[in-house]
Structure formats: structure tokens, C-alpha cells
């Protein structure tokens, strides 16, 4: 049964990936915009985590100074207790001094490790921002090419409409040419009729004068 669900899951994932690929082919800029938004969120999240690490670094150094001071304090107190012959107090102070000293050592190591890690993280973060900037530039390049393609397409529709409209334009062009011929014929017929009518009128007027 688990194998069936595994194959079903793989099939669904494959179908989703195919749909995403088709969407990317249809509108690569929209796909790139979605990817950029995800990257922007990741960069913001990384910055937040790095800032949290800075807080931890400051906490480490603060606690280190505190435990170091306490270790020195207990050391001084143990010396006083020893000189005073207070055995139990001396043992307690020595134990406290050792605990604080060990804790201070661990905190110092954690602090130094955090400083190194922060340096590495800052370099990686700078690389992330450079990559994001590169993708912004890539989007601008794609948008420019898309815009140029759209402009050229619209220009071609005007200059070479037969390429844009194909056979339908040829039919339209034939109809337009037929209308032009029809208009020319009507105009010619009108002029011919006007001339014939005018000549006939002139002939009648001449006949009256001569008669």
C-alpha cells in the first residue's frame, strides 16, 4: 500500500513540475518574479537569524565577563577563608571559583566560535544579496527583450499586416480593393452621366438659338 501511495505522490509531483515548466515557458518573467519574491523572503529571514546571532554573541561576552569576575571574587574569598582557618567556607569558595572558571572558559569559547561563525555568515549573506541583485538585473534584461519583441510585433502589424493576419488579411485586402474599384466605377459613371447631360442641354440651347 505504501508503494502505491509513493508512486501516486511521485506522479502528482511530476504533474505539478510539468505544469510549472509549462507556465514558465508561457510567462518566464512572472515565474522569475515569484522566484524573486521567495528569495527576498529568504534573504530577510537570513538577516533576522544573523541579527539573532549577534544578540547571542553579545550575551556570551556579557556572561563571560560576569563569570570571570565571580571566579576572581570567589578566589579572593577562598584566600581569606583559608587564612582565617574556615575550612568549610574555604572549600565552598574554591568549589564556586572552579565552577565559575569552567563556565567562563566555555563562554569564551562560545563567544570566539560565534564571532567566527558571524564572519562566515556575513560573507554568505553578502553573496546571497549579490545573487539576488543579479536576478534583478536578469529580470530587467528579460523585460527589455520582451518589450522590444512586443514593439517589433506591433510595428510589423502596421508595416506588414499580411504577416500578422495571414489569409484573413488577404480576404480583407481583396474586399478593400473591390470597394475601391466599385467606388471608382461609380465616380466615373457619375462623371459620364454629368457630361452627357450637360452636352445634351447645350445642344438643346443651340438648337433654340439657331431655330
Q: C-alpha dihedral over 196, 197, 203, 206, to 10 degrees?
A: -140
Cα radius of gyration (the chain): 46
pLDDT in tens, the chain (211 residues): 445 445 544 555 555 555 555 554 567 777 778 888 888 888 899 999 999 999 999 999 999 999 999 999 999 999 999 999 899 999 999 999 999 999 999 999 999 999 999 999 999 999 988 988 888 888 888 888 888 888 887 777 766 655 555 555 555 556 667 667 767 776 776 666 677 777 777 777 777 777 6
pTM of the full structure: 0.55
Amino acid at each position: 500500500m505504501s508503494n502505491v501511495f509513493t508512486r501516486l505522490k511521485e506522479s502528482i509531483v511530476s504533474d505539478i513540475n510539468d505544469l510549472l515548466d509549462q507556465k514558465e515557458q508561457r510567462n518566464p518573467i512572472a515565474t522569475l518574479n515569484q522566484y524573486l519574491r521567495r528569495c527576498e523572503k529568504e534573504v530577510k529571514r537570513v538577516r533576522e537569524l544573523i541579527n539573532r546571532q549577534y544578540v547571542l554573541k553579545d550575551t556570551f561576552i556579557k556572561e563571560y565577563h560576569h563569570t570571570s569576575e565571580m571566579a576572581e571574587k570567589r578566589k579572593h574569598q577562598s584566600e581569606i577563608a583559608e587564612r582565617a582557618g574556615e575550612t568549610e567556607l574555604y572549600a565552598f569558595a574554591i568549589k564556586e571559583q572552579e565552577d565559575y572558571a569552567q563556565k567562563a572558559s566555555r563562554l569564551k569559547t562560545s563567544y570566539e566560535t560565534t564571532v567566527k561563525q558571524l564572519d562566515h555568515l556575513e560573507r554568505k549573506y553578502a553573496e546571497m544579496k549579490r545573487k539576488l541583485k543579479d536576478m534583478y538585473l536578469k529580470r530587467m534584461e528579460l523585460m527589455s527583450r520582451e518589450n522590444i519583441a512586443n514593439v517589433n510585433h506591433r510595428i510589423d502589424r502596421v508595416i506588414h499586416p499580411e504577416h500578422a493576419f495571414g489569409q484573413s488579411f488577404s480576404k480583407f485586402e481583396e474586399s478593400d480593393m473591390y470597394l475601391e474599384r466599385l467606388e471608382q466605377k461609380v465616380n466615373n459613371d457619375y462623371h459620364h452621366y454629368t457630361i452627357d447631360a450637360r452636352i445634351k442641354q447645350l445642344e438643346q440651347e443651340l438648337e433654340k438659338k439657331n431655330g
